[in-house]
A and B are shown apart, each in its own frame.
Chain A
Amino acid sequence: MRVNPNPLPDLLAALQQNQQQINTDLAEISSGQSVNVPSDNPAAAALLVENADASAATDQFQRSISSISGELQNADSTLNSVVTALQRAISLGVEGASGTLNDSDRQALATEVQGIQSQLLNLANLSYQGKFVFAGTATQTAPYVLDSTSPSGVRYVGNGEANAVTVGDHVSVQTNLPGSQLFSSSGGDMFQAVQDLIASLQTGTGVSGAVGEVTSALNSVSAKRVFYGNTVNQLNSQQTFLSTESTQLASQQNTLGGADLSKVITDLESSQTARQAALEAVAQTQQTNLFNYIK
């Protein structure tokens, strides 16, 4: 059979194919990615899109958790001050309830409790980064305003709503407790109790009862305060979970689209060897033919 007398086009095609492989390998090495365009691996490219979105969401949840945690911790430490102030009011009340005090001594105590009262008002009107954190969702205005017509001396102008923020797939946390629940619940109305204590110290009657009221207000605030601690803990564990997830997503991303460098470099070396061989073949091909021998 007659054979193809001109193998050069085949050799050139082989060289070209070789060069293409080398280019692909170099692109993988320089980008560190095996999927540089969707056609490199369509299924992996599609999964990488989902992976990138999940990664972005995970990073965002962590950012949201940081900002929520800051607010919650601030509220918690404010509630700590509230508890301390109420404890001080109780000890002042207990002191005032003892029969050894005269009117002016009690008056002095009442004045001190009034100081506590205004301190409590400031604490309940805590503003963090432009938000009144104990105002429910009416965060743009201070929730407690002085009102002499109110029996407790203050009026709550916030609302009873709470926000919840998504901090994970199907995980959302409540981020605030409204003041109406924290400070003004029935049976635990802090401002009413303190107002009653002041009045009883001033009149000298019913001080023990007023101390009892303040104590139950203190218990109520302490009990509600647990919400903040719990939520911060929940956020911390969610943060831990998210950073684990972040690592997993990154590893999945690498599995899907990362270049296997040792493999690519081996490929590159064998492509270069093949190219060398093909070049040698081109150089050797048909250097001589029968014409060279006819004299």
Chain B
Amino acid sequence: MSSLNASLATALSGLMAEQAALNATTNNVANVNTPGYSREVPVMVASDPVVQDPLTFGTGVTLQSIESVRDPILESQIQQETQTQGQLSALVSALSQTQTSFTSSSSDIGTAISNFFDSVNQLSASPADLSLRQGVVTAAGNLATAFNVAANNLTAQRTNLDDSLTQAVGQINQLTGQIAQLNGQISNLENVGENAGTFIDQRTQLIDQLSSLIDVSVIPTDNTLTLTTASGTALVAGVQSFQLSTQPNASGVQQIMAQGSNITSTIVSGQLGGLIAARDQQIPAVQSQLDTLAAGLANAVNGVQTSGYDLSGNKGVNLFSSPPASGAGAAASLTLAITDPSLIAASADGTVGDNGNAEALYALRNQTVVAGQTPTGYYSSIVFNVGNVTANANAEQSASSLVLQQLNDQRSSVSGVSLDQEAANMVQYQQAYAASAQVISTINSMMETVIAMKTS
């Protein structure tokens, strides 16, 4: 047989459950703008019934837990895409800087090549004219300077990328430390059956940040997480985080070290991946093309120059310093070997007024002296390559941004706080609370009736 007291207890369980549910709503509303916050929902279940033959009575409601609503698969997709995004952003920003050296201007390499050959053509009409010879020397000097400036810009850029890389490694270490700490807190809470939702949200947020820096694989283990790079280097295992460090290699380029081994080449995504790709692949490729052009052009010019005769009838000497035999560093080290305009070897036979060699020098403009292309042709292919990789990285980044945006939308549709929904929930809980209170009040008056029965 049921009792009024039992009903009172049942009504009370309703009051308490609605109150706790309202607490979840309040927390959701408070965190409506918190990045990475997942909305919480109260999980209410009916309490175990009491069986009193032949009847079964319900005993009210139990608030079993407050759960954060999240989709782990979506979150791992977001982390993946964040890695791609981080890599492409770093690449785009590096390449955009690289291409400024190849943007047409009054002092770019293409213009300098044109000006040099123009000055040679002008000299060819009056091969003994000193001021025209000076014009050739000046144009050649400007050409060497244009190569130096472009090569130095690329080198400076690589140095800057090195600095960014060191900073990124610092950020990664900080994040992995925080994640390891959160891992400890989460497993402590979960071991005693508590909801660690807020800590998990924070950890997810940190893993997102980490993903923008380096490629991360997330391996869930009991109540905790293990993080490794895509190639398997451990970053966090439970409460333990593993620091990365940087160390310059023989040529002074920063390498990323994990527990004593060099993992630089294994990092392909995240900001680090982008920085490394730009520093170790894209920019060196441009540098080497620039060196090929500088060496090819300088060797060809020197070859013609030394087969002719200068204004004094002496055998010509190199116009440019001899580029290194391997070609590496040719653009950065290109300088004029002569400054005296009379040393320009315009004559093919030693006669002062002959222009045969100036013509031969001019002919280089249309000769395939640089890796099977004309000097300007080769330069234009460098411009194409630089523009093309930049445009591709730009396009990929835009596409990846869209994907990331959509994933975030989806995440928000699952986990985001909707004020409308919270308002509706609040009304619902409030009404249920009021109803339970009314029940208590009714039971109370029933009690009073019972008590009055005895005294009357």
Contact = CB atoms under 8 A, between A and B. Distances in A.
Q: Specify whether A and B are partners.
A: yes
Given A38-B99, A163-B355, A131 B104 contact: no
A270 B362 CA distance: 50
A280 interface: no
A129 B126 CA distance: 9
A99 interface: no
A56 B380 CA distance: 15
B371 to A, nearest CB: 15
Interface in A249-294: 286, 289-291, 294
Contacts of B363: 166
A289 B425 CA distance: 13
A175 B418 CA distance: 87
Nearest to B430: A294
A197 interface: no
A164 interface: yes
A64 B110 CA distance: 21
A41 interface: yes
A2 B100 CA distance: 47
Contact of A139 (B128, B386, B391, B420): B128
A119 interface: no
B376 interface: yes
A165 B124 contact: yes
A39 B420 contact: no
Contacts of B110: 49, 52-53
Interface string A105-141: 0000000000000000000000001110001111110
A37 B96 contact: yes
A164 B95 CA distance: 46
Contacts of B167: none
Interface in A1-53: 1-6, 9-10, 13, 36-43, 45-50, 52-53
Given A56-B114, A57-B117, A63 B122 contact: yes
B67 to A, nearest CB: 15
Contacts of B423: 289-291, 294
A10 B413 CA distance: 13
A116 B381 CA distance: 63
B311 to A, nearest CB: 9
Interface string A165-199: 11001001001000000000000000000000000
Contacts of A49: 104, 110, 376, 379-380, 383
Interface stretch (B54-62, B179-187, B322-330, B404-412): B404-412
B241 interface: no
A39 B99 contact: yes
Interface in B68-112: 95-96, 99-100, 102-104, 110-111
A237 interface: no
Given A4-B413, A56-B115, A163-B353, A38 B376 contact: no
Contacts, number: 186
Interface in B140-164: none
A48 B384 CA distance: 10
A57 B102 contact: no
Nearest to B426: A294
B386 A64 contact: no
Interface in B210-229: none
Contact of A57 (B114, B125, B412): B114
A61 interface: yes
Given A2-B413, A52-B104, A165-B359, A57 B365 contact: yes
B388 A9 contact: no
A60 interface: yes
Nearest to A172: B359
A46 B387 CA distance: 9
B391 A161 contact: no
Q: Say which size band chain A's interface belongs to.
A: 35 or more
A53 B375 CA distance: 10
Give the most central of B128, B381, B383, B408: most A CB within 10 Å: B383
A39 B413 contact: no
Give the most central of A1, A2, A42: most B CB within 10 Å: A42
Interface string B119-138: 00110111111000000000
A231 interface: no
A217 interface: no
A21 B125 CA distance: 50
Contacts of A37: 96, 99-100, 103, 387, 390
A108 to B, nearest CB: 41
A38 B384 contact: yes
B419 A5 contact: yes
Interface string B374-399: 00110111011111101100100000
B441 interface: no
A159 interface: yes
Contact of B126 (A13, A67, A138, A159): A67
A162 to B, nearest CB: 9
B280 interface: no
Contacts of B424: 290
A286 B416 CA distance: 15
B354 interface: yes
28 contacts: A3-B413, A4-B410, A5-B421, A6-B417, A13-B401, A38-B384, A38-B391, A39-B388, A42-B387, A43-B384, A46-B384, A49-B110, A49-B376, A53-B113, A53-B114, A53-B365, A57-B121, A59-B118, A60-B118, A67-B126, A131-B128, A138-B353, A140-B352, A163-B124, A163-B127, A163-B353, A165-B121, A166-B121
Closest 3 CB pairs of A and B: A38-B387, A139-B353, A42-B387
Given A2-B414, A49-B383, A140-B352, 6 more contacts: A4-B413, A49-B110, A64-B122, A137-B352, A140-B353, A164-B359
Interface of A: 1-6, 9-10, 13, 36-43, 45-50, 52-53, 56-57, 59-61, 63-64, 67-68, 71, 129-131, 135-140, 159, 161, 163-166, 169, 172, 175, 286, 289-291, 294
Interface of B: 95-96, 99-100, 102-104, 110-111, 113-115, 117-118, 121-122, 124-129, 347, 349, 351-356, 359, 362-363, 365-366, 376-377, 379-381, 383-388, 390-391, 394, 401, 405, 408-410, 412-414, 416-421, 423-424, 426-427
